[in-house]
A and B are shown apart, each in its own frame.
Chain A
């Protein structure tokens, strides 16, 4: 957040709205308007709530129980800049997998796009996934 926006002011020529002062405000305003054109606002609220309320352990009384019976090998990837699912949550899944004797790897990568980092190309990200699939 600091490296991308910090407390930088938006220059007057590219303001999407005259009430906007900061770059981060301008970005959110711009994204909000774009979203409202293609997305139903109420659906978005509902999806946000669903994402916030997501719990990998669900009603299974802990991650360890949730992973019981998994036979696949796991590759857990997190991004330092992801605030929605921060790296520590990935580590918790890794430890629960290890407690279940599941072959699993946990990698944290740099990514400039926060939670969306997993949608963007990144050499290391591609390399790790391709090596995992080939191994």
Chain B
């Protein structure tokens, strides 16, 4: 799944652009973008071990809780901001989206889809969903704002955020016509390219 996500995001990032990746993890995505698109990239991460991994890879990184202080980066004129699989962990996803679009023209967001049919079966049987994309139990998960594909798109509409492009992935991390026809039910992950209207 990570490889496919990297491929989709790479296609949306212009060459030689300035990119910030919120919740960058070990810096793999930025490293790939630095290699293939010659970007100037910065990661934002809170976990010290992951920060060390970024530094070892030569990926510039900033230690920061992404729930706080996104606005501090507004003066840096980024071309693209990325938030891969992190938005559902934030206290205020709507504010974060708007702030990302203030600090860059384009914004890439990926999120797990709670509307995926296996999640619905879990919920219908009275249990919180545990799937390969949402592997943690309710008492361990960092996901505090899970949503469905439809929920996310409604938020974009409400906040006047333009969905410039989108890709839906199935449980094997692949695109298919079937998933594109009914993403809210069949996609495990949504990948969005956003712009401010």
Contact = CB atoms under 8 A, between A and B. Distances in A.
Q: Do A and B come from one complex?
A: yes
A101 B18 contact: yes
B77 to A, nearest CB: 8
A104 to B, nearest CB: 6
28 contacts: A73-B60, A75-B55, A91-B62, A94-B62, A95-B72, A95-B76, A99-B75, A99-B76, A99-B77, A101-B40, A103-B40, A103-B60, A104-B60, A105-B51, A105-B55, A105-B60, A106-B61, A106-B62, A106-B63, A107-B51, A108-B63, A128-B52, A128-B55, A131-B55, A132-B55, A135-B55, A135-B57, A135-B58
Interface string B42-84: 1000001001101111101111000000001101110000000
Contact of B73 (A75, A95, A127): A95
Contacts of A134: 56
A91 B40 contact: no
A124 interface: yes
A109 B62 CA distance: 12
A56 interface: no
Interface string B141-168: 0000000000000000000000000000
Give the size category of B's interface with A. Answer: 20 to 34
Interface in A109-128: 109, 124, 127-128
Interface residues of A, number: 22
Nearest to A127: B52
A57 interface: no
Interface of A: 73, 75, 91, 94-95, 98-99, 101, 103-109, 124, 127-128, 131-132, 134-135
For the complex of A and B, list the 10 residue pairs with the smallest distance between their C-beta atoms, beginning with the closest: A135-B58, A131-B56, A98-B76, A131-B55, A106-B62, A105-B60, A105-B61, A103-B60, A107-B63, A132-B55
A132 to B, nearest CB: 5
A109 to B, nearest CB: 8
Contact of A98 (B42, B55, B58): B42
Nearest to B40: A101
B169 to A, nearest CB: 31
Nearest to A134: B56
Nearest to A92: B72
Given A131-B55, A132-B55, A135-B57, A105 B62 contact: yes
Nearest to A74: B60
A25 to B, nearest CB: 35
A91 B72 contact: yes
Contacts of A127: 52
Contacts of B75: 95, 99
Given A106-B62, A108-B63, 12 more contacts: A73-B60, A91-B72, A105-B51, A105-B60, A106-B63, A107-B55, A107-B63, A124-B52, A128-B51, A128-B52, A128-B55, A134-B56
Contacts of B48: 109, 124
Contacts of B61: 105-107
A104 B48 CA distance: 16
